[in-house]
């Protein structure tokens, strides 16, 4: 063990820990869940600290040796070399002060080591005075949220959604010649092509891609430089421009200054906006997954219009049973995303006066949603959608049998008489085509032409 001091007195630390006294106090104060903020967030913290050090160095506020040591240590944090030293529970001191100090202390102690000093000798590199120079928890934590969430969406979620949309579009093309019965209210409706149905799914995912992409754009507006409240206290003129420029250089992303620093620190609305778009995407995916479960239901007692890849046995007691497990997994994931969004919404509205103190919760849930959506969509695409097969004969059977085929008679007989035909077909078990031919309403040739299910599906 080693002993460090902070403003409240002495604290005992594991000798090998890069973190310091304030982090250790948080570990002791908040043994809540054992859940830590993820790798992507820690990477973003490293980016912020690296950019801030360079910005302060450019202003002559950090000497060359300290700057180079902090740069090297921050780079190692970005690369994930010290993740095990980020030990604060997500349920921690409000706003994320403990999380910010965790990063400051890890980088400071590693920089001290680089300078051949002993960990805890903050005369060489101080977590507050050097690593946290011109910063506050209140501007670095939301900035880290936005950087990590933007990169997560760009690198993982959007590619996953584009892959799903492409796979659904491929199924739509393959199934375009397959006619089936449409269903509304889970009752017979007019014919539709299976390809049209899947084309609708693909278009829905494309729409969500646009919404998520648009919402993620709000994350580009960073409140860094506002310091504690938005006044920029203790930050030298030019710091804000310098730190944004360095963040852009490190990430290769066009981050920029938020329009109003006070608003940027009072609220975490870009995270709320992105989370809402993820909730919308989850709802779309639930609909698609549920439809695929219905369309594949059976195989003998359900719709059974499509066949899903068999990936594992479906029952511990019923031999040979295979379940739509990928659709079930995706739905569960989406329920979790909706729950995360609810937590984020409550946490965002909890902003009071100059600050939102619920940011660790927002950070965790937002990044959790991005991560699980990305993973579940990738797996669903690869292990379900790409392997879906259609049962052409069964689809055609339902297309011929649907009572809503009578809809095509409306221009010929009128709605009321067409309804009688539909009712008679239902009561007798015959098709609409059979009834109109038997009644002499249409000749057999006319019935085949006018009541051709494929022709009724449009272009």
Angle at which helices 39-58 and 239-251 cross, to 10°? 130
Residue among 147, 21, 37 at smallest CA distance from 90: 37
Contacts of 459 (CB under 8 A, 6+ apart): none
Residue among 102, 283, 126, 131 at smallest CA distance from 207: 283
Q: What region, left, alpha or beta, does residue 420 occupy, with left being phi > 0 and alpha being psi -120 to 50 degrees? A: alpha
**Beta-ladder partners of 389:** 307
**Tokens 């906006």 — which residue?**
273
Contacts of 441 (CB under 8 A, 6+ apart): 409, 412, 413, 421
Residue among 157, 138, 137, 142 at smallest CA distance from 219: 142
Q: Select which of 296, 315, 316, 443 is catalytic.
A: 315
DSSP string across 266-292: H--HHHHHHHHHHHHHHHHHHHHHHHH
Contacts of 442 (CB under 8 A, 6+ apart): 412, 436, 450, 451
How is residue 398 written in tokens?
A: 């339902």
DSSP state of 128: I
Q: Select which of 98, 185, 218, 374 is catalytic.
A: 185
Residue among 95, 88, 123 at smallest CA distance from 108: 123
- State how far the Cα of 321 lies from the Cα of 349, in Å rounded to an integer: 47
**Tokens 């420029």 — which residue?**
245
Residue among 212, 209, 243 at smallest CA distance from 226: 243
Residue among 207, 194, 162 at smallest CA distance from 381: 162
Residue among 292, 284, 302 at smallest CA distance from 388: 292
Residue 292: phi, psi to the nearest 5? -65, -35
- Our answer to whether residue 416 is catalytic in this structure is no
Rounded to 5°, angle at Cα 28 from 27 and 29: 95
Pairing of strands 306-307, 221-222: unpaired
Give the DSSP H or E segment for 179.
Answer: strand 179-184
**Tokens 């991560």 — which residue?**
371
- State how far the Cα of 395 lies from the Cα of 170, in Å rounded to an integer: 19
- Our answer to whether residue 185 is catalytic in this structure is yes
What positions carry a catalytic annotation?
A: 185, 315
């Amino acid at each position: 063990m080693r002993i460090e001091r902070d403003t409240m007195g002495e604290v005992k630390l594991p000798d090998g820990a890069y973190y310091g006294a304030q982090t250790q106090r948080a570990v002791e104060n908040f043994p809540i869940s054992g859940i830590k903020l993820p790798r992507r967030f820690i990477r973003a913290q490293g980016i912020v600290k690296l950019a801030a050090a360079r910005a302060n160095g450019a202003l002559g506020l950090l000497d060359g040796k300290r700057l180079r040591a902090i740069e090297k240590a921050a780079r190692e944090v970005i690369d994930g070399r010290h993740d095990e030293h980020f030990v604060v529970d997500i349920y921690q001191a409000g706003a994320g002060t403990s999380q910010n100090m965790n990063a400051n202390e890890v980088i400071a102690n590693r920089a001290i080591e680089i300078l051949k000093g002993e960990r805890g000798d903050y005369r060489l590199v101080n977590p507050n005075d050097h690593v946290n120079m011109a910063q506050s928890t209140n501007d670095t934590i939301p900035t880290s949220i936005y950087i990590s969430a933007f990169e997560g969406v760009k690198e993982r979620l959007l590619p996953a959604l584009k892959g799903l949309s492409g796979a659904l579009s491929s199924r739509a093309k393959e199934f375009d010649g397959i006619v089936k019965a449409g269903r509304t209210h889970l009752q017979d409706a007019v014919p539709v092509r299976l390809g049209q149905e899947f084309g609708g799914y693909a278009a829905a995912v494309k729409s969500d891609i646009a919404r998520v992409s648009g919402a993620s754009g709000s994350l580009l507006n960073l409140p860094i430089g506002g310091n504690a409240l938005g006044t920029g206290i203790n930050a030298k003129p030019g710091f804000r421009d310098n730190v944004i420029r360095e963040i852009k250089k490190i990430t290769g992303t066009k981050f920029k200054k938020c329009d109003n620093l006070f608003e940027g620190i009072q609220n975490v609305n870009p995270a709320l906006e992105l989370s809402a778009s993820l909730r919308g995407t989850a709802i779309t995916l639930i609909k698609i997954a549920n439809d695929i479960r219905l369309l594949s239901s059976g195989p003998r007692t359900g719709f059974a219009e499509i066949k899903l890849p068999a990936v594992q046995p479906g029952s511990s007691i019923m031999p040979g049973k295979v379940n739509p497990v990928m659709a079930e997994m995706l739905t569960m994931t989406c329920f979790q995303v909706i729950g995360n969004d609810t937590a984020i919404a409550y946490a965002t509205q909890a902003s009071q006066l100059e600050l939102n103190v619920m940011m660790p919760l927002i950070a965790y849930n937002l990044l959790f949603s991005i991560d699980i959506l990305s993973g579940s969509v990738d797996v669903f695409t690869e292990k379900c959608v790409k392997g879906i097969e259609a049962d052409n004969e069964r689809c055609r059977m339902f297309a011929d049998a649907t009572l809503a085929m009578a809809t095509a008679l409306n221009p010929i007989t009128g709605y009321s008489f067409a309804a009688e035909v539909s009712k008679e077909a239902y009561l007798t078990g015959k098709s609409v085509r059979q009834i109109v031919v038997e009644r002499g309403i249409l000749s057999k040739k006319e019935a085949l032409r006018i009541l051709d299910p494929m022709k009724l599906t449009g272009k």
